[in-house]
Amino acid sequence: METEKRELYKEKCRHVIEKLSLESSRVVPDYTKIDEIFTHYDKYNSLIKRNMVRKDSFTRTDPIIDNHKIAAAFFCSFLKARPLSYVPDSSGVPLSFAEERANEQGAFLFGLQVVQDFWADKFFDSVVAEDKEIYRNLIRLPKTDTDTYIHWFIKLVINGIEQYFDYKSDKFEEKFIFFISHIYSILDSYSYQYHKVKLYEKHIAYLNEKLAELSEKRLKKLQILKIIEIFADFL
């Protein structure tokens, strides 16, 4: 990752950490771990590329990873560094899910930020007006009946599963990173289709409005013609 882009993402990482720490006085940020996150990112980036190389290929030595895999690498890096800590107080208020899983939320949101940034790039690169309209929107998360999407996502990576994402753990599974990248890919596709449907609904509403206006004008025209016919009978 180029130096300029790295510094940009460090600032965005800081923003994610700050946002989550402001949601609770019992969640304390450690901004010194941002550099650690990016050190881990380099490691995960190399692991992803290693698993993308085909064994029968001698030319594909340094494959280019897509935005979903970059998001997954940042997710794993944030999760490993754990820049947010819970500090108990004397309030007696039980630990909330958001407080307990602040790092998991941060990891998810930081990865999602990467996907969102690539949407901005697609907006400028698209030559199709419809796509430009779609990519000016925010990534949309699916709604669930009993919990938020982020909570369901976090539940997939807790209760001991985190060790499979930790490259320093004996139970680390390199290809497990792709599980995360696939989820970001699904969110990307879901958001695109969601906003596409909304765009079509907007167009249909506009066409229906124009049709109603034309129908009203036609009705008035028929009424005028009828009046003219009535008057013509008296002439």
Using the CB atoms, write b or e for 140-154: b if 16+ within 10 Å: ebeeeeeeeebbebb
Could you report the per-residue pLDDT of 66-99, keeping only the tens digit for each? 899 999 999 999 999 999 999 888 887 888 888 8
pLDDT at 58 over 60: no
Over residues 120-127, the mean pLDDT reads: 86
Q: What is the reported pLDDT for 202?
A: 85
pLDDT number for residue 12 = 94
How many Å apart are CA 69 and CA 210, to the nearest integer? Answer: 45
Tens of pLDDT, residues 126-147: 888 889 999 999 998 888 777 7
* Pair 26, 159: CB distance under 8 Å: no
Question: Does the structure show a pLDDT above 60 at 56?
Answer: no
Task: Please say if the pLDDT value at position 57 is more than 80.
Answer: no
Greater pLDDT, 230 or 9: 9
Averaged pLDDT for residues 121-126: 87
User: What gap in Å lies between CA 85 and CA 70, rounded to an integer?
Assistant: 25
The CA-atom distances, in angstroms, between 88 and each of 3, 28, 83, 162 are: 38, 10, 16, 23
CB count in 10 Å sphere of residue 19:
13
Average pLDDT over residues 17-27: 93
For the chain, percent of residues with pLDDT exceeding 70 = 87
Which range among 14-18, 160-164, 216-220 has the greatest average pLDDT?
14-18
Beta strand extents in the chain (DSSP E only):
27-29, 84-86
Angle at 207 between CA 201 and CA 213, to 5 degrees: 140
pLDDT at position 53: 65
- Do the Cβ atoms of 105 and 98 come closer than 8 Å? yes
Q: How far is CA 67 from CA 41, 93, 177, 195, in A?
A: 13, 40, 13, 19
Q: Is the pLDDT of residue 100 over 60?
A: yes
* 166-192 pLDDT per residue, tens: 888 888 888 888 888 999 999 999 999
Following CA atoms 96, 181, 32, 167 in sequence, which dihedral angle do they give, to the nearest 10 degrees? 100
User: Model confidence at 29, in pLDDT bands (50, 70, 90)?
Assistant: very high
Q: How confident is the model at residue 233 (pLDDT cuts 50, 70, 90)?
A: low
What average pLDDT is seen over the chain? 85
For strand 27-29 and strand 84-86, is the pairing parallel, antiparallel, or unpaired? antiparallel
